[in-house]
Amino acid sequence: MKKGIVIVAALLTMPLAVTAWIQQPFNHEIGELKFAGLSKADPASLKKDVEKLYGEFGNRHFDDVTTLDLAANYIQNEFSKVSSRTRLQSYQVDSEMFSNVIARFGPTNGNPIIIGAHYDAEAETAGADDNASGVAGLLELARLFAKNPPSVPVELVAYTLEEPPNFRTESMGSRQHAAQLVNDGITPRLVIVLEMIGYFNDAPNSQEYPIGALKWLYPNTGDFIAVVGNLANPGDTKLVKMVMKSANPNLAVESISAPSALTGIDFSDHASYWLHDMPAVMITDTSFYRNANYHKATDTPDTLNYQRMAQVVEGVFAVVNYFRQEPI
């Protein structure tokens, strides 16, 4: 009889355990954080960079190497204004050369925190949310690190060739970057990828999910930013969520750790690092699960919320400063 009760109890609690594992609703002990003195992200700067990438370098696609190079030059010039340690990581695909753009901050020794965003866009779209928003966030982080130098090594990477036809191939800029880390014997403490961080919708039922059951666990309004991780490092996913929420209580942050079989979990550059068992998370507005403009000409700068984008950037900035306060 007792054995039967135990089995029934286990069956009843299993859904709760799975829910806790996926959604990560519980607070992570992160101690007392001090973010009050840190510089704030500037919504106007974010908007300027999005409009620049969208307007002057709209066709940032594999088939238009000239425009990709112009976008890379713009990013490198902006990095160079705040960091003396900028460079291109160039590589060849077919007969053309493509480049990641890299800037470094903080100490030169130690396991780095890597923050990346792809600067290319889907063909025939200018990609404001996807992914000029992520690159704008990267550039604003560079300005913040210049004002508040990190005490841990930080590497910012603007990736090329995330979009089809190079997605999930060795031609992706993030695949090249991850492989170089392996070759150099560098193990990042954490990789954070910014993938579409500017679209928010407060309307009821504006948020979709890959499976219906998730609607019972997460909001039905698209007013939050998501931290997405895999099952190998759920603690990092939870930590990023909790620090981002602590840094700005007005920012709604959700997190999920799930296998790649769940559609969308590995749909960006963070998955390139998972291939090498490196801890990586994606920060995202959830892309096509919320933004109907995804991979369309209607993905324009006027559809983005720059105030909330600034809060997201400040949250990521706080994650780096958490490692300064409480190294793990």
Domain of 98, CATH number, reads 3.40.630.10
Number of structural domains, the chain?
1
Distance CA 18, CA 39 (A): 39
- Report the pLDDT value the prediction gives residue 12, as an integer from 0 to 100: 32
Q: Does any domain span residue 19?
A: no
- In tens, the pLDDT along 236-274 reads 999 999 999 999 989 999 999 999 999 999 999 999 999
Handedness of CA 44, 49, 52, 53 (dihedral sign): negative
Give domain status of residue 245, yes or no: yes
| Tokens, residue 311 | 């809060």
- pLDDT tens sequence for the chain (328 residues): 444 433 333 333 334 344 444 555 544 445 556 666 677 999 999 999 999 999 999 899 999 999 999 999 999 999 999 999 999 999 999 999 999 999 999 999 999 999 999 999 999 899 999 999 999 999 999 999 999 999 999 999 999 999 999 999 999 999 999 999 999 999 999 999 999 999 999 999 999 999 999 999 999 999 999 999 999 999 999 999 999 999 998 999 999 999 999 999 999 999 999 999 999 999 999 999 999 999 999 999 999 999 999 999 999 999 999 987 654 4
47 within a domain of the structure (yes/no): yes
Assigned domain for 59 exists: yes
- Residue 170 belongs to a domain: yes
* Cα separations in angstroms, 94 against 97, 169, 298: 8, 13, 31
Residue 31 falls within a domain, yes or no? Answer: no
On whether residue 287 sits in a domain, the answer given is yes
Instruction: Give a yes or no: residue 33 inside a domain.
Output: no
Q: Which domain holds residue 67?
A: 38-325
pTM of the model: 0.91
At residue 225, the 3 state secondary structure works out as strand
